Structures are given as C-alpha cells and as structure tokens.
Structure 1
C-alpha cells in the first residue's frame, strides 16, 4: 500500500485528490493538510509520497519541501501547481522535488503518477515539463567545466540509464527497457548520482539536459 499525504491550502483540492486516490488500488491517502501543519503531519504519518502545493498563502511550499527533504527517511515529494510555467518549478526540482504535476491532471492518470513516484520515478506533467525545458532560465545553459568532467566520467551504460531517468522511468521500468535487473539498475543509479555529485534523480536529469544528452523528444515527453 502506497501511503500518501496531500498538502494544499484549498480544502476542495485536498478532498478531490483524496477521493480519486483512495478509489485506486494499493493507494491510501493517510492525511490531507494545509501548509502550516504539513511537516508535523508528515512526521506523524510517515507517508511514502507527499503531493505538495507549490504556492500557499500560509507558508512557502519551497520551504516546506526543503524541510521534508531534510527528514531522515524523507518521503518522495512532488509539487502541485495550477500554472504550466510556474517560475518556482525549477527551484523546486533543484531542491529535491521528484517532479511536478498540474492540479487539473486527469483522474485516471493521477494514480499512475503516484505509483511512478513511489517506485522511484520522475513525474512531470507534459505541458509543464515543456515550459520548464523551453522557457525557464538556466535549463538551457551549458554545463561548466567541472560538471562536464563529471558527466564525462559516466560509462556508456550509465549515460544510457541517465537518459532513461530523465524520461521519468523507475528502476524496474529502466531494467525492462534495457534488459537489466532492478538491482543492477539501482547500482547504476547510485553510481550516477555519486559521479555527478547530485542528490536526486531530478537533479541528475536537469544536468543531463544541460549537457545535451537529451533530445527534443525526451525534453517534451518526460514523465509520460
């Protein structure tokens, strides 16, 4: 059972997500809360996945994200937004968010996105991901010399895995795609994060994009 906490300042959004996710197999929304109580709620409930509003009037969603990611055994956190081109999205990704999705995500897609998050994948709503790759300052910047050197230390197989990470695939899905066990993929992912000196899959994906490892198709369809 995947345990989920939904954090949003609007009660209607919280109840809607709870209703949709609780109707799905093997997913349980164990709590919903506004931003001010988010950290205490997560500490108490110990969810696997947190869906966190990026903009809340009572507390900054980015601040909550950093607090959640600093916890021991931190949950996977994905950001919720109503904007295709929210200027805070890139900051959230660099702060450890596992992705983002729009609040108007189709109900039949929402449960699968949560499963992807719980399995270690990256979630990006296609419309919003296009906005990030194409419009946000910094995503199209080239890598500096130190970053280029780190990317250059990746093996051919690790580069292949990195591109699939950027597509949003979980370890199991990557293994299926390139015919490796999930355990072997996990070892490759750990090596990639270590060599790139990043702390999350999404940060590795952003570096891969800046290094030119991702083609247009990857940038526009990541997370599908």
Structure 2
C-alpha cells in the first residue's frame, strides 16, 4: 500500500494586544477573532505585556500608545526581545503623529483608520511580505520601483476605489456594501487587480498600494 503523505495545516500567527484601555482590548479581540488570519494569544495591560509575552510566546505584540506615550518603552521592548524567539513588535500611535519611538518597533501603525486596518497591517507584517529594519540579517525593503507604479497606473478608477478599501481591511462583502455593488462583482474586480499588479494575494496588493502611497 502506498504511503499517503498529509501536508501539515499551517497555523495562524499569534498576537498579543497590550493596552490600558478595556475598550481597545475588546475591539481588537473581536476584530482578530473575526479576521481568521491571526490568532489571539491574549490581551493585557501595558505593564503586564512582558510577563504575558514570556508565557504565551506570540509571533507579534501590538503596543497601544494611541492614548499617549508609553512609559519606559525602551526597557519594555528590551524585555520583550529577550526570549530565544522574540516577537515582532508593532506600536499603535494616534493619527497625525510625526515623531514616534520608531526605532523600538518593527512597525508603527496609526490608530485613526480603525481596528480592521490595523489587524490587516499586522497580517502583512506577520506574512513576511514586509521586511523590517530590526529583523536580524535582513535589510529594509526598498521603495516601490517604476514597474510597481506603472502597474498601479493601469487600474481603472473603480479598481483603485476597491484597492483603497482593501488597504483599509474591508472584505468583499463590506466593499460591495460600501460601493453598492455585489460581492461577486467585487470578487471579479479583485481578480483583475491582482492580475494587473502581478501579485498573488490581497495582502500583497495592499502592500504595493501602501508603499506607492495610493490615493495620497
């Protein structure tokens, strides 16, 4: 009898949400649970995050600084990075902030676009599509080349509208509701967007759009 090899099912990346706001913790808990591409390791207050990270060993940690600067951030990040398998660290800041302690985080995310957009950005970070400056042995990813901008320029106005909503983390159904078109129509547009951008997933399309500052 021939041996049947079963490929292991990939496990979702895990994330810890650290915030002193119970409302923020609850909002992200619901959003991560609904997203499906990330698994929630747990939520906690800011000063509990180092101990919880050591216990839960997540792939990512989101530190909520949207209500103001976090006290003792460098020391806390050093504690988070001390295990053998340190997590990626994302810092959530208020919209409009121009100077943050970016050197302490792998990604800095603005809170103004909502939990869905932040979770989508975390999925991109976890996927490895974005190369972070702090990752050992890696170099920062260069800006979008002329070929990327050329591909983006081939999108129709409707496709650009849909891509902006994809960047915001909306599903096909949510995009359809926003633009008053059916989810099947959105799906067709998304397929054409992926083909034009020469990418394999919505996440890669979102990365291309963000890096080219679509709509700015």
The normalised TM-score by structure 2 is: 0.52
Of structures 1 and 2, the one scoring higher in RCO (CA 8 A, sep 6+) is 1
1:102 aligns with 2:110: yes
In the other structure, the counterpart of 2:6 is none
Post-superposition shift, 1:111?
3.1
Post-superposition shift, 1:79?
0.1
* Deviation readout 1:146-173 (Å, 9 max, x if unpaired): xxxxxxxxxxxx99x8415999xxxxxx
8 Å contact kept, 1:99–1:122? no
Gaps of 5+ in 2: 1-11, 133-137, 149-196, 200-209
Do the aligned partners of residues 64 and 86 (structure 1) sit closer, same or farther apart at CA in structure 2, a change above 3 Å counting?
A: farther
The aligned runs of 1:94-173 (5 Å cut-off) are 94-95=103-104, 97-122=105-130, 162-164=141-143
1:34 aligns with 2:45: yes
Question: CA RMSD for the aligned pairs?
Answer: 3.8
> In structure 1, what is the Cα distance between the partners aligned to 2:127 and 2:14?
12
**SS of alignment partner, residue 142 of structure 2:** helix
1:22 aligns with 2:33: yes
8 Å contact kept, 2:131–2:141? no
The normalised TM-score by structure 1 is: 0.50
Do the aligned partners of residues 94 and 46 (structure 1) sit closer, same or farther apart at CA in structure 2, a change above 3 Å counting?
A: same
Higher fraction of helix: 1
Q: How many residues align?
A: 138
> In structure 2, what is the Cα distance between the partners aligned to 1:86 and 1:24?
29
The aligned runs of 1:1-224 (5 Å cut-off) are 1-54=12-65, 59-85=71-97, 87=99, 89=100, 91=101, 93-95=102-104, 97-122=105-130, 162-164=141-143, 221=213
8 Å contact kept, 2:33–2:39? yes
